[in-house]
Structure 1
Amino acid sequence: MKLGFDIDDTLIDLRQHAFHLYNQKLGQNIGVDVFEAIPTLEIHEAFGMTREEGGAMWANLRDEIYYTSCPPFPHAVEMLNELVEAGHEVYYITARPKNHCGRTLEWLLKNGFPVADGHFYCGMDDKEKVHIIKELELDYYFDDKPAVLETLSDLALQVYVRDRSYNRHLKLPRITSWEQLKDEMNKGDIPKSE
């Protein structure tokens, strides 16, 4: 089987990591409960910032957000390694800016994610992901962004949404934890590689 994964907020908890950095940099102590209730992908409003101020803050902190201590979601690394060990092909498809592709790949490898040669795609616009997913002829794809997931409805693959506060309106199968994917594979909902 060929499985594709977005990285940010699908495999790693990037927004919450950024939320903690914003608290630190702004000298605030806004609770995680506020974070978990944010109905949008962007986090700036929780800090009383305009879209422009939030965009500038994200841009200024991008390296720190991407490459410091951002944690993978629990069991994400183990699950992807198990998929590869079981004979599945794992692909990473991220819309991170092109100038971050090399460092992102290094970060994935450093953090134990299995990345085979030619299985890492980076630097495209969210709307362009659909072309890569189609060309790869994936069987399964996992992402968090509604704007991406909504472009995949015409493709012959199983799409899963990584459950987040801003995508609860989507009527797609959900992954709430990476242990859940393991359970679904064990039940046979996702076939083992032949």
Structure 2
Amino acid sequence: MKFGFDIDDTLIDLRAHAFSLYNKKLEKNIPIEIFQALQRVEIHEPFGLTDSQGSAMWNSSLEEIYFTDCPIFEQALETLQGLNQQGHDIYYITSRPKHYCAQTQEWMSTLGFPIKEGHFFCGMQDAEKVAIIKNLALDVYVDDKPAVLETLQNIETKVILKNQSYNEHVQLPRLHHWHEFDNIIKA
């Protein structure tokens, strides 16, 4: 089978990691419960930043956010390693900026994610992501972003939504914890 995965907030807990970094950089102690209740992807509001200030902080912190010790969601790595050992094709499809593609691929490889040549797509907008997913004719695709998954509802690919506070309104098969993955794909 062909499996596709978004990276940020699907395989790794990027936003929570960034929230922790913001607390350090801004010398704040905003509790994680505030982060967990956010209804948007953006994380700057609890720090009293405007959208423009939040965007500037995010963009100036990207390298640190992407390539420091961002935690992998529990069982995500083991799930993908298991799929790889079973002979399935694994594709990564991320919106991370193009100039971070090689570094992201290397970082993920170092963490132990199975990556094959030609199976890593990076640096595209949502519409381009959707086109790649359709062209690959994936059997299963997992992402946290409703805009991508809702666009894929009329194709053969089984779409699974990685649960996040900002996507709770969406009615799609939902992955709360990676240990549930096998049961969800069999359903």
- Measured against the shorter chain, the TM-score band is over 0.9
What residue number does 2:36 align with? Answer: 36
Q: Please give the alpha-carbon distance, in whole angstroms, between the structure 1 residues aligned to 2:25 and 2:155.
A: 42
What residue number does 1:17 align with? Answer: 17
What residue number does 2:126 align with? Answer: 126
CA contact (8 A) 2:9 2:144 kept: yes
Q: Which amino acid aligns with 1:50?
A: T
What residue number does 2:77 align with? Answer: 77
Q: Please give the alpha-carbon distance, in whole angstroms, between the structure 1 residues aligned to 2:64 and 2:155.
A: 36
Q: Please give the alpha-carbon distance, in whole angstroms, between the structure 2 residues aligned to 1:177 and 1:119.
A: 24
* Runs of 4+ displaced beyond 4 Å: none
Gaps of at least 5 residues in structure 2 are none
- RMSD over equivalenced CA pairs, Å: 1.0
Q: Across the two proteins, how many residue pairs are aligned to each other?
A: 187
TM-score, length-scaled by structure 1? 0.94
Q: Please give the alpha-carbon distance, in whole angstroms, between the structure 2 residues aligned to 1:130 and 1:75.
A: 26
Q: Which amino acid aligns with 1:17?
A: H
Gaps of at least 5 residues in structure 1 are none
What residue number does 2:55 align with? Answer: 55
Offset of residue 152 of structure 1: 0.9
What residue number does 1:5 align with? Answer: 5
Q: Please give the alpha-carbon distance, in whole angstroms, between the structure 2 residues aligned to 1:106 and 1:156.
A: 31
What residue number does 1:66 align with? Answer: 66
What residue number does 1:97 align with? Answer: 97
Offset of residue 56 of structure 1: 0.4
Q: Which amino acid aligns with 1:41?
A: V
SS in 1 for 2:42: coil
TM-score, length-scaled by structure 2? 0.97
CA contact (8 A) 1:127 1:147 kept: no
